[in-house]
Amino acid sequence: MPLVNGRFVADMKSPRTPDNEEPAAERACDFRPVDKGFTEEMALAEAERCLNCKKPFCVEGCPVNINIPRFIEQIREKDFGGALDTIREDSMLPAICGRVCPQENQCEGKCIRGKKSEPVAIGQLERFLGDRPELASTPKMAPKNGKKVAVVGSGPSGITCAGELARNGFDVTVFEAFFTGGGVLVYGIPEFRLPKAVVKREIDGLEDMGVKFEYNSVVGNMATAEELFEQGFDAIYVATGAGLPKFLNVPGENLPNVFFANEYLTRVNLMKANKFPEYDTPTKHGKNVVVFGGGNVAMDAVRTAKRLGAEHAIIAYRRTEDEMPCRRAELHHAKAEGVEVLPLVSPLEFVAGEDGSVCAVKVQKMELGEPDESGRRRPVPIEGAIEEIPCDVAISAIGTNANPFAKKIGGKMELNKWGYIVADEETGQTTDPRIWAGGDIVTGAATVILAMGAGKKAAASITKSLLGE
Amino acid sequence: MYKILEKTQFSEKVFKFRIEAPAIAKHAHAGQFLMVRANETGERVPFTLAGWNGDEGWVEFIFMVIGKTTEMLSTYEAGESLRDVVGPLGVPTEMAEGPCAVIGGGVGLAIAFPVAKHLVETGHEVHAIMGARTKDLLLMEDQFRELLDEDHIHITTDDGSYGEQGVVTAPLERLLQDKAVSQVFCVGPVPMMKFSTLTAQKYDTPITASLNPIMVDGTGMCGCCRVEVGGVTKFACVDGPDFDATLVDWDDLRARQAAYRSEEGESLKAYEEKSCACH
Ligand SMILES: Cc1cc2nc3c(=O)[nH]c(=O)nc-3n(C[C@H](O)[C@H](O)[C@H](O)COP(=O)(O)OP(=O)(O)OC[C@H]3O[C@@H](n4cnc5c(N)ncnc54)[C@H](O)[C@@H]3O)c2cc1C
Ligand SMILES: Cc1cc2nc3c(=O)[nH]c(=O)nc-3n(C[C@H](O)[C@H](O)[C@H](O)COP(=O)(O)OP(=O)(O)OC[C@H]3O[C@@H](n4cnc5c(N)ncnc54)[C@H](O)[C@@H]3O)c2cc1C
Ligand code: SF4
Ligand code: SF4
Ligand code: FES
């Protein structure tokens, strides 16, 4: 370890430790995790690169302000358990966030080392620790306080809130519409990016802490907020996530084999359609698959199509690669796996073939014009430039609207005009003082770390409100 | 796990399960449905709530064997359990004033029966129009006969092997001509619903159809169940399954229902081969 006068000095020369990736051609054929994560050696080498900044910009970039220099220092000292405890002060889900956070816009995007060379691989280091949960010290549990809280939805926001509350001594029950827990982490994000075992470990951990899970429970239809209060719950945290897919609003959108990404991904991730007929749920194995969108959802869909055997798996986006909102790593991985990127196109119409299913999609070619409100250059159609792309599966991944159950849950919770729940930004409390809400159902489709952060804040506010501390 | 309390066989291919599900039973309404996953490897399939008892904590559904999942379900016995049952889902059927005609064809009869029953229980005069291709495929006759008297049951078979020869629109047209009904409810194969709708429209009588597109989650997340109604895309699982039949794009529904024909065949074949091997 490079020490100068007893003080640590970062290794300024070594390049960023590359990801421990599986060969692209092999991994594109199955659902194995894309990379194996850092080995101890790699983690130690990478930790040497951190400058341990006095004013760490990386921390500002992290939405939950994890003490990044501190946990990296602990890695360097081989105090992995201590490093994990440091992260756990701010984030409950390091194994997950380390894998799925858009680090390039957050912690790593702000890292000082990124100015001259490449930022420290903060995400990989976090994942390295998150994958060794046995090293963390057992969290202290407050004595039972006799109060009951219901959590609606078991996505990252719900499970974080549940975990915090259980630790604070509450009796917590999570109600989940599906038959298993994790929300988007299990039905949306594919196995090759986030192994389901990682999510299950988090859920099991909560069960060990005494959190109860009621699966197959659609709150709103099976019980309303009022009924939950009648059953003795003292507070409710609503984290139902985003719902209803957004339409492209072009002709032919309802043709067979035109999917919304949610359906396409759920069939495979949750229902294991890739193992049909061993599992009963089928899906379509397209040879030519076109996915519309440029975010993480679109990337997950197109890479899933590749793994289901597509010869051409195409991502079609209105703008160019540079403007794609997906994580950079996903775009890089997708291209390495043979995904084709078709920039500057917008769908006009899905065309039916002889059998009535989609056989092609007509697209309008675009060019970049003046910047819009978001500062990105607006795509404008090039008159007359229309192309037809053959496809036997088409997938739209252009976002979601509000979950329709938000309004059915009831209470005196106010929704905004788009159907999202209105909640205090700091506390998560809704206009009904007994109900808190957070995650995608408040912010609209966002990120795992923000959903988690909202769950944590709400747990603190619920604790304060119910225990009067 | 959801225990099967009772299994009743109505005919060779039609069964009723009574399932222990207290929370669902307390909130059930006619026209709503359940999503069932029989076991760990099973598909999620929707079934209409056919009966429930909030005090005793059970719900019932009636199903007809038509493919892998329903064939497998038919092998489950009372005392065994289904892995997952979710509900109640969908919007309850709006019950109209005045006398009604309830039309069911094929499996649709299993779905129509609970609606007819509920209408009778809420004091409506109900005419049941029951259609089938041939006598052996006519479901639920005993149940409908128990519910309604002879004058209110109208049976048609395509081949004339039972009841009146022809399709359901003939008795429907007579009822409408006689002004015997002021509201029509139909569920069954797309052509049957489509022609019933045209008939009802001729007499300016409102008609509701219960649509059954393929579903995955049943909670408005995936978009698989989308149907076109009045030129607008709706999700049958959260906006329906009942819709104003005069606004439904039937061709669109039919195409989407058939999207997995070949996979469904493959699944059933694999299941039947496996079942044979272990006997
Ligand atoms: C395919 C895909 C890829 C993504 N990739 C990334 C990524 O790489 N990085 C990133 O940061 N973010 C990513 N996101 C976004 C991220 O997953 C979400 O922002 C996050 O999961 C939101 O968490 P949540 O807890 O609010 O809701 P969700 O994860 O949506 O969970 C909500 C849960 O509530 C349940 N529920 C809904 N209604 C009810 C009800 N009435 N009663 C009971 N339960 C109910 C749902 O079944 C679900 O399990 C991705 C999203 C998708 C869809
Ligand atoms: C709201 C609703 C209520 C229903 N109520 C009843 C009922 O009370 N009794 C009854 O017998 N049937 C009912 N059905 C139909 C029932 O869901 C199908 O018969 C069942 O899914 C067939 O599965 P299978 O594997 O046996 O047949 P398969 O061979 O897989 O399919 C046969 C046909 O059933 C339909 N189907 C297949 N999978 C699904 C699915 N996941 N969701 C919906 N439809 C599917 C398709 O049109 C397909 O062509 C209902 C459907 C809906 C949408
Ligand atoms: S939680 Fe996300 S943003 Fe924060 S340090 Fe970890 S990877 Fe970076
Ligand atoms: S900004 Fe980069 S170098 Fe500085 S403390 Fe954070 S990770 Fe280390
Ligand atoms: S079944 Fe998924 S949205 Fe209706």
Question: Which pLDDT value is given to residue B270?
Answer: 86
Q: Give the pLDDT mean for A208-234.
A: 94
Share of chain B above pLDDT 90, in %: 68
Q: Is there a domain that residue A139 lies in?
A: no
Take residue A308 and report the two structure tokens written for it: 């289901």
Residue A325 belongs to some domain of the structure: yes
Task: From A381, A398, A415, give the residue that closes a domain.
Answer: A398
Which of A85, A109, A133 finishes a domain? A133
Query: Are residues A296 and A409 both part of a single domain?
Result: no
Beta partners for residue A27, in sequence order: none
Omega within 30 of 0 (cis) for the link into A277: yes
CA-to-CA separations, A176 to A403, B21, B24, B237, in angstroms, rounded: 14, 16, 14, 17
Residue A339 lies in a domain: yes
Q: Whose CA is nearest to atom 1 of ligand 3?
A: A97
Name every residue whose Cβ is closer than 8 Å to that of residue B40 and which is 6 or more positions away in sequence: B83
Q: Look at residue A444 and tell me if it is in a domain.
A: yes
Nearest residue to B181 (alpha-carbon basis) of B116, B131, B248: B116
Q: Are residues A109 and A153 in the same domain?
A: no
Verify that A284 and A214 share a domain, yes or no: no
Rounded-to-integer distance, Cα B80 and Cα B61, Å: 16
Asked whether residue A289 falls in the same domain as residue A326, the answer is yes
Distance of CA A319 to the CA centre of its chain: 23
User: How many CB pairs below 8 A link A and B?
Assistant: 110
Separation in Å, CA A358 to CA A273, B261, B268: 20, 16, 25
Residue A8: what pLDDT? 66
**What is the mean pLDDT of the segment spanning A393-413?**
89
Nearest in space to A422 (alpha carbons), one of A147, A224, A238? A238
Q: Give residue-wise pLDDT tens across range A287-316.
A: 999 999 999 999 999 999 999 999 999 999
Mean pLDDT of A375-401: 91
Q: What is the pLDDT of residue A298?
A: 96
Residue type, B158: D
Please give the mean pLDDT across all residues of chain A: 92
**Three-class secondary structure of residue B206 per DSSP:** coil
B237 is in an annotated binding site: yes
Task: Please report the pLDDT score of residue A10 as a whole number.
Answer: 75
The predicted pLDDT at position B137 comes to 82
Asked if residue A7 has pLDDT above 70, the reply is no
Which has the higher per-residue pLDDT, A391 or B139? A391
The answer to whether A405 faces chain B, any CB pair under 8 Å, is: yes
Do residues B230 and B239 lie in contact, with contact meaning Cβ atoms separated by under 8 Å?
Answer: no
- What's A167's domain CATH number? 3.50.50.60
Checking if the pLDDT of A4 tops 70, the result is no
B163-199 CB burial, b ≥16 within 10 A, e <16: beeebbbebbeebbeeeebebbbbbbbbebbbbbbeb
- What b/e sequence results for A155-164 when a residue is b if at least 16 CB atoms lie within 10 Å of its CB, and e otherwise? bbbbbbbbbb
Residue B144 carries which side chain, given as an amino acid letter? F
**Beta carbons within 10 angstroms of residue B3's beta carbon:** 14
Count the Cβ atoms, other than its own, within 10 Å of residue B145: 13
Same-domain status, A10 and A150: no
Is B276 known as a binding-site position? no
Res. A469 pLDDT band, cuts 50 70 90: low
DSSP A365-426: EEEEEEE-TTSSEEEEEEEEEEEEEE-SEEEE-S-EEE-TTHHHH-TT--B-TTSPBPB-TT
Peptide bond into A404 cis (omega under 30): no
Task: Measure the CA–CA gap between B134 and B96, rounded to whole angstroms.
Answer: 31
pLDDT confidence of residue B276? 65
- CB-CB neighbors (< 8 A) of B258 in chain A: 256, 356
Residues A188 and A333 in one domain: no
Rounded Cα–Cα distance for residues A274 and B114 (Å): 37
Same-domain check for residues A276 and A150? no
**pLDDT value at residue A376:** 79
Task: Give the domain-ending residue among A398, A426, A446.
Answer: A398
Residues in CB range of A81: below 8 A, 6 or more apart = A135, A136, A137
Checking if the pLDDT of A374 tops 80, the result is: no
Residue nearest to atom 3 of ligand 3 (CA): A62
Tens of pLDDT along B178-205?
A: 888 899 999 999 999 999 999 999 999 9
> Which residue in B222, B233, B263 has the most chain A C-beta atoms within 10 A of its own C-beta, making it the best mutation to test that interface?
B222
Peptide bond into B88 cis (omega under 30): yes
Residue A311 near chain B (CB below 8 Å): no
In a domain, A141, yes or no: no
Give the tokens for residue B57. 């904590």
Number of domains chain A is built from = 3
What does pTM read for this prediction?
0.93
Question: Higher pLDDT residue, B96 or A381?
Answer: A381
CATH of the domain at A101: 1.10.1060.10
Residues A374 and A292 in one domain: yes
Residues listed for chain B: 279
Instruction: Summarize pLDDT for A332-373 with one digit per residue, the tens.
Output: 999 999 999 999 999 999 999 998 999 999 999 999 888 888
B222 is in an annotated binding site: yes
Average pLDDT over residues A402-412: 86
Residue B122 forms contact with A (CB below 8 Å):
no
Ligand 2 pocket: which of B9, B43, B70 to mutate (most atoms within 8 A of CB)? B70
User: Is A422 inside a domain boundary?
Assistant: yes
Domains and CATH numbers, chain B: 1-87 (2.40.30.10), 98-256 (3.40.50.80)
What is the distance between the alpha carbons of residues B24 and B94, in angstroms, rounded to a whole number?
19
Domain assignment present for residue A105? The answer is yes
**For A281, which of B43, B86, B223 is closest by C-beta distance?**
B43
Judgement on whether residues A22 and A124 belong to the same structural domain of the protein: yes
| Contact (CB, 8 A) for B215 and B36 | no
CA distance A92 to A84: 10
Q: Helices A68-76 and A122-130 sit at what angle, rounded to 10 degrees?
A: 70
For ligand 4, the distance from its centroid to the CA atom of residue A48, given in whole angstroms, is: 11
Write phi, then psi, for A430 (nearest 5 degrees).
-90, -175
Cα B196 to Cα B185: distance, rounded to the nearest angstrom: 9
In A307-376 the beta strands, taken as DSSP E runs, fall at 312-316, 340-342, 345-352, 358-371
Shared-domain flag, residues A250 and A381: yes
CA distance B75 to A408: 37
Say whether B197 sits in a helix, a strand or coil.
helix
Residues A292 and A373 in one domain: yes
Per residue in A25-47, pLDDT (tens digit) is 889 888 999 999 999 999 999 99
Q: Best of A175, A184, A186, A187 to mutate for ligand 1, by most ligand atoms within 8 A of CB?
A: A184
Same domain, A258 and A298: yes
Interface test with B, best of A216, A308, A408 (most B CBs within 10 A): A216
Range of the domain at A283: 243-398
Interatomic CA distance for residues B110 and B104, integer angstroms: 8
Identify whether A449 is part of a domain: yes
Report the alpha-carbon distance of residue A352 to residue A358 in Å, rounded: 4
Task: Give Cα A241 to chain centroid, integer Å.
Answer: 11
Contact A177, A140 (CB under 8 A): no
Q: Is A139 helix (H, G, I), strand (E, B) or coil?
A: coil
Q: Measure in Å the smallest separation between the Cα of B85 and chain A Cα atoms.
A: 7
